[in-house]
Amino acid sequence: MSFSGIPAALQSALTSRGYAAPTPVQSAVLAEDAAGRDLLVSAQTGSGKTVAFGLSIAPELLGGADRLPPPGAPLAIVVAPTRELALQVKAELTWLYAPAGGRIASGVGGMDPIAEKRQLLTGAHIIVGTPGRLCDHLERGNLKPDALRVVVLDEADEMLDLGFREELEAILDRLPPERRTLMFSATVPRAIAALAKSYQRDALRLEVGGGGEAHGDITYRAMLVAPHEIERAVVNLLRLENPPLAMVFCATRAAVARLHGNLAERGFPAVALSGELTQAERLRALQALRDGRSRVCVATDVAARGIDLPELDLVIHAELPRDSETLLHRSGRTGRAGRKGTSVLLVPHPRRRMAERLIGAAKVAASWGPAPSADAVRARDAERLAEQARSVLAEEASDDDQALAQRLLADGQISSETLAAALIKMLRAPLPAPEEIAEQRPERREARREAPDADAPRGGEGVWFRLNIGRNGNADPRWLLPFLCRRGHLTRQEIGRIRILGQETMVEIAPYAAERFAAAARQNSAEDREDIQIQPMQPFRQTAREAPQKPERAAPMRETRPAKAATAPRPPKPGKPGKPGKPGKPPKRFEKRAKPGPGMEGRKRPDGAPRLGKRGRVA
């Protein structure tokens, strides 16, 4: 299908921009059954929706003429969720309607309202803005809605997520009832369907390319990292991939500011986008990305909504998105207009299950693996630097450069190898140094599932470790617990009893996490206290993955367990029965026990134990 049947002025604008054939969403809105009707369109981000609704509203604006009438009260209004998206839509409609004499005005928060009022008074054909500022212009009488023929809600789902329902309803209630209403959204949740039912008439539902599903041009990858090594993983990933443009997503403004500062300090040309920036600062940051002066953008979800950067090849989720829709919206910043892109989720190992649910709900396939190591970055650097050196040497040198090189070689003190090494050193100097990252092994998750049944005794005893710091060194559980989680790549649920003595501290670790804790504890981190040494106090039991094959009925592990080492922990002190670590009932720290539920009283238990009363007591 070609752009046949559209006005000649718009046809010439598309030709000058290199548009040869419409995208699927553009073909759908230009079909005969969609002409003149209200539309509810769901399509992938980056599929050409702006040009699609720009072409769809042309009949209402031009009315069969070749050019637009003189500017006056706006004929169309486009509502976008963010300032960046509104200004981007304005830029797209400006070039599309320029041959037809179109004048596009804007009304967005953070800009000068007096200048916007002046634009509206001098006349415009289309106004593009954010919900709050458009409501303000309507209430003040700057925007006259009487002549409006069509309204477009772009990214309608995001506007509802941001809490703009009241503003949208206020805008739609003020518009003429005979208008045409178009809603474009990446997804169509229940709230969008209800809004369409209230403000659209006999709307045609168009779902292009599986609305709400993922791009086929985006490759998804998930990388397991330690929680305290997220920023290091971002550094290594940027160094390994070396994309022309990359976007790193964080959940909060504070996280954006911290990560942006760390990347800038390491030498990355980075900018930040968050809600605390003024509009002028945002525009400068976006212009730096488009000009190539910056190559990394650290942003929040809302601030990056609708940003179109054609050269963006890599999206990094430094913090996991809150839901699958946010994952798709973030990833949709890359892979636009037919380009290939990569979306990488950095997953702290305690949150792997959450990441798997997000990926499954988004209906994408992600490959799992570790974060890039420093050795992998150096190996990739060697390849790139060798190629850069060859390209530099292939260039023709001037006579002065040739003469200087001959003088250096004539002395005999400098060899050609020394000159080549100096060239490599100069090429390597601007590159940020890679970060050392602890290796994460994904198979530990399966071992964690199987270990309690295979080799953990029913009593739930853990493996004990000794720390060379005690009460005399101000050891306290308030800082020891987070220190152990960071140093040993654990969760709080995998740490049992902590016994603080005078010169040392003993810590109990869940059996299935003991080997992982020991391996991580041996790697001292500059962020943690390097003077604290962690050593096991007893041999490890094998995990289910590493255990040898056994006959069908193996002897219980408690009977074959080797004798404890001489450095075993002190026996627990006598006390009241039933408390963890005391004689009586075994500790239940790492074991889930079923409680007697309703209807169990008066019945015999399968193991022949006495019957239970109403409160679980022996009857």
Read off the pLDDT of residues 476-516 as tens digits, 9 standing for 90 and up.
Answer: 888 888 888 888 888 888 888 999 998 999 999 988 888 88
The domain tally of the chain equals 3
Rounded CA separation 12/98 (Å): 10
Give pLDDT < 50 ranges for the chain.
210-212, 442-459, 542-566, 568, 575-584, 586, 592, 597, 599-606, 618-619
Q: Dihedral (C-alpha) 611, 613, 614, 617: value to the nearest 10 degrees?
A: -110
pLDDT of residue 443: 45
Cα(404)–Cα(134) distance, rounded to whole angstroms?
A: 66
pLDDT of residue 216: 66
241 and 199 within one domain: no
- Whether 250 is covered by a domain: the verdict is yes
Give me the sign of the Cα torsion angle 13, 15, 17, 22.
positive
pTM: 0.63
How far is it, in rounded angstroms, from Cα 150 to Cα 61? 9
Q: How far is residue 104's CA from residue 127's CA, in Å, rounded to a whole number?
A: 6
Pure H helices in 324-464: 324-331, 352-361, 374-394, 399-410, 416-428, 444-454
- 204 with 316, same domain: the answer is no
**Which of the listed residues 352, 375, 398 is the one where a domain comes to its end?**
375
Residue 580 inside a domain? The answer is no
Residues 178 and 223 placed together within one structural domain of the fold: no
49 and 77, same domain (yes or no): yes
Residues 239 and 192 in one domain: no
- 227's torsion region: left (phi>0), alpha (psi -120 to 50) or beta? alpha
Alpha-carbon span 591 to 392, nearest angstrom: 64
Question: Which amino acid is located at 359 in the chain?
Answer: I
CATH code, 461: 3.30.70.2280
Give the CA distances from residue 494 to residues 443, 489, 509, in Å, rounded to whole numbers and listed in that order: 17, 10, 6
Residue 584 lies in a domain: no
What the block records as the tokens of 416 is 């050609």
d(C-alpha 503, C-alpha 473), whole Å: 7
Task: Check the CA dihedral 410-415-421-424 and report its sign.
Answer: positive
Query: Is 420 inside a domain boundary?
Result: no
pLDDT for 173 equals 93
Of 157, 183, 208, the position where a domain reaches its end is: 208
Cα–Cα distance, 599 to 324 (Å, whole number) = 41
Query: Which residues have C-beta within 8 Å of that of residue 455, sequence separation ≥ 6?
Result: 511, 541, 542, 543, 544, 547, 557
Same domain? 46 vs 114? yes
3-state secondary structure of 185: strand
123: its two tokens: 């006349």
Q: What letters, b where the CB count within 10 A reaches 16 and e where it falls short, cover 434-462?
A: bbebbebeeebeebbeebbebbbbeebbb
Does 530 map to a domain?
yes
193 found inside a domain: yes
> Are 108 and 37 contained in the same domain?
yes
* 406 in any annotated domain: no
Distance between CA atoms of residues 511 and 449, nearest Å:
11
pLDDT of residue 99: 93
- CATH number of the domain residue 257 falls in: 3.40.50.300
- Kindly give, in sequence order, each residue whose CB lies less than 8 Å from that of residue 384, ignoring residues fewer than 6 positions away: 242
Last residue of a domain, one of 176, 208, 240: 208
Inter-residue contact 97 to 68 (CB < 8 Å):
yes
Contact 57, 76 (CB under 8 A): yes
Neighbour-count burial of 366, counting CB atoms closer than 10 A to its CB (0-12 exposed, 13-18 middle, 19+ buried): buried
* Domain boundaries, position 279: 218-375
CA 472 vs. chain centroid, Å, equals 44
Residues 237 and 362 grouped into a single domain: yes
Q: Give backbone dihedrals phi and psi of 161, rounded to 5 degrees, phi first.
A: -60, -35
Q: What is the DSSP letter of 351?
A: G
Supply the DSSP symbol for 332: T
SS3 content of the chain, % helix, strand, coil (to 5): 40, 15, 45
My answer on whether 245 and 181 are in the same domain is no
Quote the CA–CA distance of 112 and 278 in Å, as a whole number. Answer: 12
Q: What is the crossing angle of helices 253-266 and 230-241, to 10°?
A: 50
> Are 368 and 463 found together in one domain?
no
Query: Which residue in this structure is represented by tokens 């609704």?
Result: 53
CB 559 within 8 A of CB 566: no
Q: What is the DSSP string of 190-258?
A: HHHHHHHHHH-SSPEEEEESSTTS--TTEEEEEEEE-GGGHHHHHHHHHHHH--SEEEEE-SSHHHHHH
Residue-level pLDDT at 525: 56
Together in a domain, 137 and 257: no
In a domain, 578, yes or no: no
Report pLDDT for 219. 92
**174 and 152 inside one domain:** yes
